[in-house]
Structure 1
Protein backbone atom coordinates (compact mmCIF):
# COMPACT_ATOMS: atom_id res chain seq x y z
CA UNK A 1 0.00 0.00 0.00
CA UNK A 2 2.82 2.40 0.83
CA UNK A 3 4.37 1.63 -2.55
CA UNK A 4 1.10 2.24 -4.40
CA UNK A 5 0.63 5.61 -2.63
CA UNK A 6 4.24 6.42 -3.34
CA UNK A 7 3.83 5.56 -7.01
CA UNK A 8 0.69 7.73 -7.17
CA UNK A 9 2.53 10.72 -5.68
CA UNK A 10 5.38 10.18 -8.15
CA UNK A 11 2.95 10.03 -11.08
CA UNK A 12 1.19 13.18 -9.85
CA UNK A 13 4.49 15.03 -9.72
CA UNK A 14 5.28 13.92 -13.25
CA UNK A 15 1.93 15.39 -14.37
CA UNK A 16 2.75 18.58 -12.44
CA UNK A 17 6.08 18.79 -14.26
CA UNK A 18 4.26 18.52 -17.60
CA UNK A 19 1.77 21.18 -16.51
CA UNK A 20 4.62 23.62 -15.82
CA UNK A 21 5.68 23.48 -19.49
CA UNK A 22 2.70 25.42 -20.95
CA UNK A 23 2.98 28.02 -18.17
CA UNK A 24 6.66 28.52 -18.91
CA UNK A 25 5.90 28.53 -22.63
CA UNK A 26 3.26 31.22 -22.10
CA UNK A 27 5.77 33.36 -20.21
CA UNK A 28 8.34 32.95 -22.98
CA UNK A 29 5.68 33.83 -25.58
CA UNK A 30 4.85 37.02 -23.66
CA UNK A 31 8.57 37.76 -23.45
CA UNK A 32 8.95 37.42 -27.22
CA UNK A 33 5.97 39.70 -27.78
CA UNK A 34 7.41 42.17 -25.28
CA UNK A 35 10.62 42.32 -27.29
CA UNK A 36 8.92 42.51 -30.69
CA UNK A 37 5.52 44.22 -30.38
CA UNK A 38 4.06 44.93 -26.92
CA UNK A 39 7.29 46.52 -25.66
CA UNK A 40 6.27 46.12 -22.00
CA UNK A 41 8.95 43.83 -20.68
CA UNK A 42 8.17 43.43 -16.97
CA UNK A 43 4.80 41.70 -17.40
CA UNK A 44 6.08 38.29 -18.47
CA UNK A 45 8.34 37.69 -15.47
CA UNK A 46 5.68 36.67 -12.89
CA UNK A 47 4.37 33.89 -15.12
CA UNK A 48 7.90 32.71 -15.99
CA UNK A 49 8.78 32.58 -12.29
CA UNK A 50 5.60 30.62 -11.52
CA UNK A 51 6.33 28.15 -14.34
CA UNK A 52 9.90 27.56 -13.15
CA UNK A 53 8.69 27.23 -9.53
CA UNK A 54 6.15 24.55 -10.47
CA UNK A 55 8.82 22.68 -12.42
CA UNK A 56 11.25 22.72 -9.48
CA UNK A 57 8.54 21.81 -6.95
CA UNK A 58 7.44 18.83 -9.02
CA UNK A 59 11.02 17.54 -9.01
CA UNK A 60 11.15 17.98 -5.23
CA UNK A 61 7.92 16.01 -4.81
CA UNK A 62 9.17 13.32 -7.18
CA UNK A 63 12.37 12.95 -5.13
CA UNK A 64 10.38 12.82 -1.90
CA UNK A 65 8.14 10.08 -3.29
CA UNK A 66 11.06 8.00 -4.63
CA UNK A 67 13.07 8.11 -1.41
CA UNK A 68 10.08 8.10 0.98
CA UNK A 69 11.18 11.39 2.54
CA UNK A 70 8.14 12.57 4.47
CA UNK A 71 9.60 15.98 5.29
CA UNK A 72 10.33 16.61 1.60
CA UNK A 73 6.77 15.73 0.65
CA UNK A 74 5.52 18.12 3.31
CA UNK A 75 7.65 20.86 1.78
CA UNK A 76 6.30 19.97 -1.65
CA UNK A 77 2.66 20.21 -0.53
CA UNK A 78 3.21 23.47 1.34
CA UNK A 79 5.07 25.21 -1.47
CA UNK A 80 2.67 23.89 -4.11
CA UNK A 81 -0.24 25.42 -2.19
CA UNK A 82 1.62 28.74 -2.15
CA UNK A 83 2.27 28.53 -5.91
CA UNK A 84 -1.39 27.73 -6.64
CA UNK A 85 -2.45 30.79 -4.64
CA UNK A 86 0.17 32.90 -6.44
CA UNK A 87 -1.11 31.73 -9.84
CA UNK A 88 -4.69 32.48 -8.80
CA UNK A 89 -3.69 35.99 -7.69
CA UNK A 90 -1.85 36.56 -10.96
CA UNK A 91 -4.88 35.52 -13.02
CA UNK A 92 -7.15 37.82 -11.01
CA UNK A 93 -4.62 40.66 -11.39
CA UNK A 94 -4.29 40.10 -15.14
CA UNK A 95 -8.05 40.29 -15.65
CA UNK A 96 -8.39 43.28 -13.30
CA UNK A 97 -5.86 45.44 -15.15
CA UNK A 98 -7.18 44.48 -18.60
CA UNK A 99 -10.90 44.60 -17.90
CA UNK A 100 -11.50 47.77 -19.95
CA UNK A 101 -10.56 48.95 -23.39
CA UNK A 102 -11.51 48.15 -26.95
CA UNK A 103 -11.01 49.45 -30.43
CA UNK A 104 -13.35 51.95 -32.06
CA UNK A 105 -15.04 51.12 -35.35
CA UNK A 106 -14.50 53.80 -38.02
CA UNK A 107 -16.71 54.17 -41.07
CA UNK A 108 -15.18 52.89 -44.32
CA UNK A 109 -12.18 51.43 -42.47
CA UNK A 110 -11.45 47.74 -41.85
CA UNK A 111 -9.03 48.52 -39.03
CA UNK A 112 -10.00 49.77 -35.58
CA UNK A 113 -8.76 52.93 -33.91
CA UNK A 114 -7.85 53.31 -30.25
CA UNK A 115 -8.38 56.04 -27.68
CA UNK A 116 -6.58 56.31 -24.37
CA UNK A 117 -9.77 57.46 -22.63
CA UNK A 118 -11.22 53.96 -23.13
CA UNK A 119 -8.67 52.57 -20.67
CA UNK A 120 -8.21 53.10 -16.97
CA UNK A 121 -6.42 51.74 -13.95
CA UNK A 122 -2.91 50.76 -13.00
CA UNK A 123 -1.80 49.52 -16.42
CA UNK A 124 -2.87 52.73 -18.14
CA UNK A 125 -0.97 54.81 -15.57
CA UNK A 126 2.08 52.61 -16.01
CA UNK A 127 2.12 52.93 -19.79
CA UNK A 128 1.32 56.66 -19.73
CA UNK A 129 4.11 57.48 -17.29
CA UNK A 130 6.46 59.81 -19.24
CA UNK A 131 9.64 58.11 -18.04
CA UNK A 132 8.35 54.67 -18.91
CA UNK A 133 6.76 55.72 -22.18
CA UNK A 134 10.14 56.90 -23.48
CA UNK A 135 11.42 53.33 -23.32
CA UNK A 136 8.26 51.92 -24.88
CA UNK A 137 8.43 54.49 -27.68
CA UNK A 138 12.05 53.63 -28.44
CA UNK A 139 11.17 49.92 -28.44
CA UNK A 140 8.35 50.48 -30.96
CA UNK A 141 10.61 52.57 -33.17
CA UNK A 142 13.45 50.04 -33.03
CA UNK A 143 11.09 47.16 -33.81
CA UNK A 144 10.38 48.92 -37.14
CA UNK A 145 6.73 47.96 -36.93
CA UNK A 146 5.73 51.06 -38.94
CA UNK A 147 8.20 50.73 -41.85
CA UNK A 148 7.09 47.11 -42.19
CA UNK A 149 3.63 48.36 -43.12
CA UNK A 150 4.86 49.40 -46.56
CA UNK A 151 3.28 47.56 -49.49
CA UNK A 152 3.76 48.29 -53.15
CA UNK A 153 1.74 47.66 -56.27
CA UNK A 154 2.91 47.93 -59.87
CA UNK A 155 1.77 50.97 -61.80
CA UNK A 156 -0.30 49.84 -64.78
CA UNK A 157 1.20 52.55 -67.00
CA UNK A 158 4.86 52.85 -66.05
CA UNK A 159 5.25 49.37 -64.64
CA UNK A 160 7.12 50.82 -61.66
CA UNK A 161 6.26 49.94 -58.05
CA UNK A 162 4.23 52.50 -56.13
CA UNK A 163 2.57 52.61 -52.69
CA UNK A 164 -0.73 50.80 -52.50
CA UNK A 165 -3.75 53.09 -53.04
CA UNK A 166 -5.69 54.50 -50.12
CA UNK A 167 -8.74 52.30 -50.76
CA UNK A 168 -6.60 49.21 -50.49
CA UNK A 169 -4.92 50.44 -47.29
CA UNK A 170 -8.29 51.20 -45.70
CA UNK A 171 -9.26 47.54 -46.13
CA UNK A 172 -6.23 46.24 -44.21
CA UNK A 173 -6.50 44.63 -40.78
CA UNK A 174 -3.97 46.61 -38.75
CA UNK A 175 -2.69 45.61 -35.34
CA UNK A 176 -3.47 48.00 -32.45
CA UNK A 177 0.09 49.38 -32.47
CA UNK A 178 0.10 49.76 -36.26
CA UNK A 179 -3.19 51.65 -36.14
CA UNK A 180 -2.36 53.80 -33.12
CA UNK A 181 1.32 54.60 -33.70
CA UNK A 182 1.98 54.55 -37.45
CA UNK A 183 -0.74 56.84 -38.75
CA UNK A 184 -2.79 59.80 -37.50
CA UNK A 185 -6.37 59.32 -36.27
CA UNK A 186 -8.93 59.30 -39.06
CA UNK A 187 -10.78 62.19 -37.41
CA UNK A 188 -7.84 64.48 -38.22
CA UNK A 189 -8.75 64.41 -41.90
CA UNK A 190 -5.20 64.06 -43.28
CA UNK A 191 -4.68 62.92 -46.86
CA UNK A 192 -3.15 59.48 -47.43
CA UNK A 193 0.12 59.33 -49.41
CA UNK A 194 1.40 55.97 -48.17
CA UNK A 195 1.14 53.89 -45.01
CA UNK A 196 3.24 56.28 -42.88
CA UNK A 197 2.91 59.47 -44.91
CA UNK A 198 -0.21 61.59 -44.40
CA UNK A 199 -0.26 65.26 -45.38
CA UNK A 200 -2.50 68.29 -45.00
CA UNK A 201 -3.92 70.31 -42.14
CA UNK A 202 -6.13 68.94 -39.35
CA UNK A 203 -9.83 69.17 -40.06
CA UNK A 204 -11.50 72.21 -38.44
CA UNK A 205 -13.93 69.85 -36.70
CA UNK A 206 -11.17 67.63 -35.30
CA UNK A 207 -10.81 67.99 -31.55
CA UNK A 208 -8.18 65.30 -31.08
CA UNK A 209 -4.90 66.56 -29.63
CA UNK A 210 -3.13 63.73 -31.48
CA UNK A 211 -3.68 65.66 -34.73
CA UNK A 212 -1.05 68.15 -33.59
CA UNK A 213 1.25 65.43 -32.29
CA UNK A 214 1.40 63.64 -35.63
CA UNK A 215 4.87 64.23 -37.09
CA UNK A 216 4.79 63.54 -40.81
CA UNK A 217 8.18 64.95 -41.94
CA UNK A 218 10.13 62.96 -39.34
CA UNK A 219 9.52 59.26 -39.95
CA UNK A 220 11.32 58.50 -36.68
CA UNK A 221 8.46 60.09 -34.70
CA UNK A 222 5.20 59.56 -36.61
CA UNK A 223 2.53 59.23 -33.89
CA UNK A 224 4.76 57.73 -31.19
CA UNK A 225 3.86 60.65 -28.90
CA UNK A 226 0.14 60.22 -29.49
CA UNK A 227 -2.36 58.99 -26.93
CA UNK A 228 -3.64 56.68 -29.68
CA UNK A 229 -0.23 54.99 -29.69
CA UNK A 230 -0.40 54.43 -25.93
CA UNK A 231 -3.92 53.06 -26.35
CA UNK A 232 -2.66 50.74 -29.09
CA UNK A 233 0.03 49.40 -26.76
CA UNK A 234 -2.60 48.82 -24.05
CA UNK A 235 -4.87 47.03 -26.53
CA UNK A 236 -2.00 44.81 -27.65
CA UNK A 237 -1.10 43.96 -24.05
CA UNK A 238 -4.73 43.23 -23.23
CA UNK A 239 -4.97 40.83 -26.17
CA UNK A 240 -1.76 39.04 -25.16
CA UNK A 241 -2.68 38.76 -21.50
CA UNK A 242 -6.13 37.44 -22.21
CA UNK A 243 -4.65 34.67 -24.36
CA UNK A 244 -2.11 33.77 -21.67
CA UNK A 245 -4.80 33.88 -18.97
CA UNK A 246 -6.86 31.20 -20.75
CA UNK A 247 -3.88 28.83 -20.52
CA UNK A 248 -3.28 29.83 -16.90
CA UNK A 249 -6.88 29.11 -15.91
CA UNK A 250 -6.75 25.63 -17.45
CA UNK A 251 -3.42 24.96 -15.72
CA UNK A 252 -4.81 26.25 -12.40
CA UNK A 253 -7.74 23.81 -12.55
CA UNK A 254 -5.37 20.92 -13.29
CA UNK A 255 -3.04 21.96 -10.45
CA UNK A 256 -5.90 22.11 -7.95
CA UNK A 257 -7.07 18.61 -8.94
CA UNK A 258 -3.52 17.28 -8.77
CA UNK A 259 -2.94 18.93 -5.40
CA UNK A 260 -6.10 17.40 -3.88
CA UNK A 261 -5.11 13.95 -5.13
CA UNK A 262 -1.55 14.42 -3.81
CA UNK A 263 -2.85 15.42 -0.36
CA UNK A 264 -5.10 12.34 -0.24
CA UNK A 265 -2.26 10.04 -1.33
CA UNK A 266 0.11 11.61 1.21
CA UNK A 267 -2.38 11.15 4.08
CA UNK A 268 -2.98 7.54 3.04
CA UNK A 269 0.77 6.86 2.90
CA UNK A 270 1.27 8.44 6.33
CA UNK A 271 -1.55 6.34 7.82
CA UNK A 272 -0.09 3.14 6.43
CA UNK A 273 3.37 4.14 7.61
CA UNK A 274 2.06 4.72 11.14
CA UNK A 275 0.15 1.45 11.18
CA UNK A 276 3.03 -0.76 10.00
CA UNK A 277 5.14 -0.72 13.22
CA UNK A 278 2.05 -1.60 15.30
CA UNK A 279 1.17 -4.48 13.03
CA UNK A 280 4.74 -5.75 13.01
CA UNK A 281 4.92 -5.66 16.81
CA UNK A 282 1.73 -7.71 17.10
CA UNK A 283 3.11 -10.32 14.72
CA UNK A 284 6.39 -10.55 16.60
CA UNK A 285 4.56 -11.06 19.90
CA UNK A 286 2.32 -13.79 18.49
CA UNK A 287 5.24 -15.82 17.15
CA UNK A 288 6.68 -18.42 19.58
CA UNK A 289 10.29 -18.06 20.46
CA UNK A 290 12.61 -20.51 18.77
CA UNK A 291 15.09 -20.54 21.62
CA UNK A 292 14.14 -21.98 25.05
CA UNK A 293 16.45 -22.47 27.88
Structure 2
Protein backbone atom coordinates (compact mmCIF):
# COMPACT_ATOMS: atom_id res chain seq x y z
CA UNK A 1 0.00 0.00 0.00
CA UNK A 2 1.35 3.44 -0.93
CA UNK A 3 2.28 6.01 1.70
CA UNK A 4 -0.56 8.34 0.69
CA UNK A 5 -3.05 5.49 1.07
CA UNK A 6 -1.64 4.71 4.53
CA UNK A 7 -2.06 8.34 5.59
CA UNK A 8 -5.59 8.42 4.15
CA UNK A 9 -6.50 5.17 5.92
CA UNK A 10 -5.15 6.40 9.28
CA UNK A 11 -6.92 9.76 9.01
CA UNK A 12 -10.17 8.03 8.13
CA UNK A 13 -9.87 5.62 11.06
CA UNK A 14 -9.44 8.65 13.33
CA UNK A 15 -12.49 10.31 11.73
CA UNK A 16 -14.46 7.07 12.08
CA UNK A 17 -13.56 6.83 15.75
CA UNK A 18 -14.50 10.49 16.25
CA UNK A 19 -17.92 9.89 14.70
CA UNK A 20 -18.84 7.38 17.40
CA UNK A 21 -18.92 9.97 20.25
CA UNK A 22 -20.87 12.33 17.97
CA UNK A 23 -23.52 9.67 17.36
CA UNK A 24 -23.52 8.77 21.06
CA UNK A 25 -24.03 12.44 21.98
CA UNK A 26 -26.98 12.66 19.59
CA UNK A 27 -28.53 9.52 21.08
CA UNK A 28 -27.89 10.86 24.58
CA UNK A 29 -29.61 14.13 23.63
CA UNK A 30 -32.53 12.11 22.28
CA UNK A 31 -32.92 10.42 25.66
CA UNK A 32 -33.07 13.76 27.51
CA UNK A 33 -36.46 15.04 28.67
CA UNK A 34 -38.28 17.24 26.20
CA UNK A 35 -36.55 20.59 25.97
CA UNK A 36 -36.85 23.19 23.21
CA UNK A 37 -33.07 23.59 22.91
CA UNK A 38 -32.31 19.88 22.81
CA UNK A 39 -35.13 19.27 20.35
CA UNK A 40 -33.50 21.59 17.81
CA UNK A 41 -30.09 19.94 17.88
CA UNK A 42 -30.44 16.21 18.54
CA UNK A 43 -31.29 14.97 15.03
CA UNK A 44 -28.73 17.14 13.22
CA UNK A 45 -26.07 15.79 15.58
CA UNK A 46 -27.05 12.17 14.88
CA UNK A 47 -27.19 12.83 11.13
CA UNK A 48 -23.79 14.54 11.18
CA UNK A 49 -22.30 11.61 13.09
CA UNK A 50 -23.63 9.06 10.61
CA UNK A 51 -22.45 11.13 7.62
CA UNK A 52 -18.94 11.35 9.08
CA UNK A 53 -19.06 7.60 9.83
CA UNK A 54 -20.10 6.66 6.28
CA UNK A 55 -17.68 8.99 4.52
CA UNK A 56 -14.74 7.98 6.70
CA UNK A 57 -15.61 4.30 6.29
CA UNK A 58 -15.66 4.72 2.50
CA UNK A 59 -12.32 6.55 2.65
CA UNK A 60 -10.75 3.91 4.87
CA UNK A 61 -11.90 0.94 2.80
CA UNK A 62 -11.00 2.73 -0.43
CA UNK A 63 -7.51 3.58 0.83
CA UNK A 64 -6.85 0.23 2.52
CA UNK A 65 -8.11 -1.96 -0.35
CA UNK A 66 -7.13 0.57 -3.03
CA UNK A 67 -10.64 0.77 -4.45
CA UNK A 68 -10.64 3.73 -6.81
CA UNK A 69 -14.44 4.04 -6.90
CA UNK A 70 -14.65 4.30 -3.11
CA UNK A 71 -11.82 6.81 -3.07
CA UNK A 72 -13.59 8.87 -5.74
CA UNK A 73 -16.84 8.71 -3.72
CA UNK A 74 -14.91 9.70 -0.60
CA UNK A 75 -13.25 12.65 -2.30
CA UNK A 76 -16.55 13.89 -3.77
CA UNK A 77 -18.29 13.61 -0.39
CA UNK A 78 -15.44 15.38 1.38
CA UNK A 79 -15.48 18.17 -1.22
CA UNK A 80 -19.23 18.58 -0.74
CA UNK A 81 -18.91 18.56 3.08
CA UNK A 82 -16.09 21.11 3.00
CA UNK A 83 -18.07 23.34 0.61
CA UNK A 84 -21.17 23.10 2.83
CA UNK A 85 -19.13 23.96 5.91
CA UNK A 86 -17.62 26.98 4.15
CA UNK A 87 -21.06 28.14 3.02
CA UNK A 88 -22.36 27.73 6.58
CA UNK A 89 -19.38 29.67 7.93
CA UNK A 90 -19.87 32.55 5.48
CA UNK A 91 -23.62 32.57 6.19
CA UNK A 92 -22.98 32.72 9.95
CA UNK A 93 -20.59 35.64 9.55
CA UNK A 94 -22.96 37.55 7.27
CA UNK A 95 -25.98 37.01 9.53
CA UNK A 96 -24.27 37.76 12.83
CA UNK A 97 -21.75 40.41 11.77
CA UNK A 98 -23.63 43.46 13.03
CA UNK A 99 -24.06 42.55 16.68
CA UNK A 100 -26.57 45.19 17.77
CA UNK A 101 -24.66 46.03 20.94
CA UNK A 102 -24.40 49.43 22.56
CA UNK A 103 -22.87 50.67 25.78
CA UNK A 104 -25.11 51.69 28.65
CA UNK A 105 -23.76 54.01 31.32
CA UNK A 106 -23.59 52.39 34.75
CA UNK A 107 -23.65 48.79 33.46
CA UNK A 108 -20.68 46.49 33.08
CA UNK A 109 -22.19 44.71 30.10
CA UNK A 110 -23.58 45.86 26.77
CA UNK A 111 -27.24 46.02 25.87
CA UNK A 112 -28.46 44.60 22.58
CA UNK A 113 -31.15 45.81 20.21
CA UNK A 114 -32.70 43.76 17.47
CA UNK A 115 -32.37 46.67 15.04
CA UNK A 116 -28.58 46.25 15.08
CA UNK A 117 -28.69 42.74 13.63
CA UNK A 118 -29.03 41.60 10.00
CA UNK A 119 -32.47 41.63 8.36
CA UNK A 120 -32.50 37.82 7.98
CA UNK A 121 -31.83 37.27 11.67
CA UNK A 122 -34.39 39.89 12.70
CA UNK A 123 -37.06 38.27 10.52
CA UNK A 124 -36.44 34.86 12.10
CA UNK A 125 -36.28 36.09 15.70
CA UNK A 126 -39.19 38.53 15.58
CA UNK A 127 -41.53 35.71 14.54
CA UNK A 128 -43.63 34.93 17.63
CA UNK A 129 -43.23 31.15 17.25
CA UNK A 130 -39.42 31.42 16.99
CA UNK A 131 -39.19 33.84 19.92
CA UNK A 132 -41.12 31.42 22.17
CA UNK A 133 -38.57 28.70 21.37
CA UNK A 134 -35.63 31.02 22.00
CA UNK A 135 -37.15 32.26 25.24
CA UNK A 136 -37.74 28.69 26.42
CA UNK A 137 -34.11 27.82 25.64
CA UNK A 138 -32.81 30.80 27.57
CA UNK A 139 -35.07 30.14 30.53
CA UNK A 140 -34.01 26.47 30.68
CA UNK A 141 -30.28 27.25 30.81
CA UNK A 142 -30.26 27.93 34.54
CA UNK A 143 -27.70 30.70 34.05
CA UNK A 144 -29.67 33.34 35.92
CA UNK A 145 -30.17 31.42 39.18
CA UNK A 146 -26.40 30.81 39.25
CA UNK A 147 -25.77 34.52 38.75
CA UNK A 148 -28.17 35.43 41.55
CA UNK A 149 -25.99 33.37 43.88
CA UNK A 150 -22.85 35.12 42.62
CA UNK A 151 -24.20 38.70 42.61
CA UNK A 152 -26.32 39.43 45.66
CA UNK A 153 -27.34 43.01 44.96
CA UNK A 154 -28.62 44.61 41.77
CA UNK A 155 -25.66 47.03 41.79
CA UNK A 156 -23.22 44.11 41.72
CA UNK A 157 -25.11 42.53 38.82
CA UNK A 158 -25.25 45.75 36.75
CA UNK A 159 -21.53 46.42 37.33
CA UNK A 160 -20.50 42.86 36.41
CA UNK A 161 -18.89 42.02 33.10
CA UNK A 162 -21.10 39.17 31.92
CA UNK A 163 -21.63 37.59 28.51
CA UNK A 164 -24.55 38.50 26.24
CA UNK A 165 -26.07 35.05 26.84
CA UNK A 166 -26.00 35.58 30.59
CA UNK A 167 -27.51 39.06 30.28
CA UNK A 168 -30.27 37.96 27.90
CA UNK A 169 -31.19 34.83 29.86
CA UNK A 170 -31.40 36.84 33.06
CA UNK A 171 -33.52 39.49 31.39
CA UNK A 172 -35.95 36.75 30.30
CA UNK A 173 -35.85 35.27 33.82
CA UNK A 174 -36.29 38.64 35.53
CA UNK A 175 -39.11 39.61 33.15
CA UNK A 176 -40.93 36.33 33.89
CA UNK A 177 -40.26 36.69 37.62
CA UNK A 178 -41.52 40.30 37.66
CA UNK A 179 -44.59 39.32 35.67
CA UNK A 180 -45.32 36.47 38.10
CA UNK A 181 -44.96 38.75 41.12
CA UNK A 182 -47.12 41.49 39.61
CA UNK A 183 -49.94 39.04 38.90
CA UNK A 184 -50.42 38.33 42.63
Q: How does the TM-score come out when normalised to structure 2?
A: 0.69
Q: Distance in 2 between matches of 1:110 and 1:69?
A: 60
State the SS of the aligned residue for 1:174.
coil
State the SS of the aligned residue for 2:99.
coil
Structure 1 unaligned blocks of 5 or more: 153-162, 185-194, 197-212, 222-293
Select the residue among 156, 160, 182 that pairs with 1:168.
156
Shift of 1:101: 1.0
Residues 1:116 and 1:136: Cα distance change in structure 2 (over 3 Å): same
Residue 178 (structure 1) aligned with residue 140 (structure 2): no
Q: How does the TM-score come out when normalised to structure 1?
A: 0.47
Q: Which has the higher helix share?
A: 2
Partner of 2:180: 218
Q: Distance in 1 between matches of 2:73 and 2:182?
A: 54
State the SS of the aligned residue for 1:93.
helix
Residue 118 (structure 1) aligned with residue 116 (structure 2): yes
1:59-74 to 2 correspondences below 5 Å:
59-74=57-72
Shift of 1:219: 5.8
Asked if 1 retains the 8 angstrom alpha-carbon contact of 2:5 and 2:64, the reply is no
Residue 91 (structure 1) aligned with residue 79 (structure 2): no
Shift of 1:218: 1.4
Residues 59-95 of structure 1 deviation map (CA, whole Å, 9 limit, x = unaligned): 2121122223222222222222222222222222222
1:24-173 to 2 correspondences below 5 Å:
39=37, 42=40, 49-50=47-48, 52-151=50-149, 164-173=152-161
Q: Distance in 2 between matches of 1:220 and 1:85?
A: 52
Name the larger-Rg structure: 1
State the SS of the aligned residue for 1:79.
helix
Q: Distance in 1 between matches of 2:38 and 2:125?
A: 8
Asked if 1 retains the 8 angstrom alpha-carbon contact of 2:12 and 2:59, the reply is no
Q: Distance in 2 between matches of 1:96 and 1:51?
A: 27
Q: What is the aligned length?
A: 171
Q: Distance in 2 between matches of 1:220 and 1:14?
A: 63
Structure having greater relative contact order (Cα 8 Å, sep ≥ 6): 1
1:180-219 to 2 correspondences below 5 Å:
180-183=168-171, 196=174, 216-218=178-180
State the SS of the aligned residue for 2:61.
helix
Structure 2 unaligned blocks of 5 or more: none
Residues 1:220 and 1:43: Cα distance change in structure 2 (over 3 Å): farther
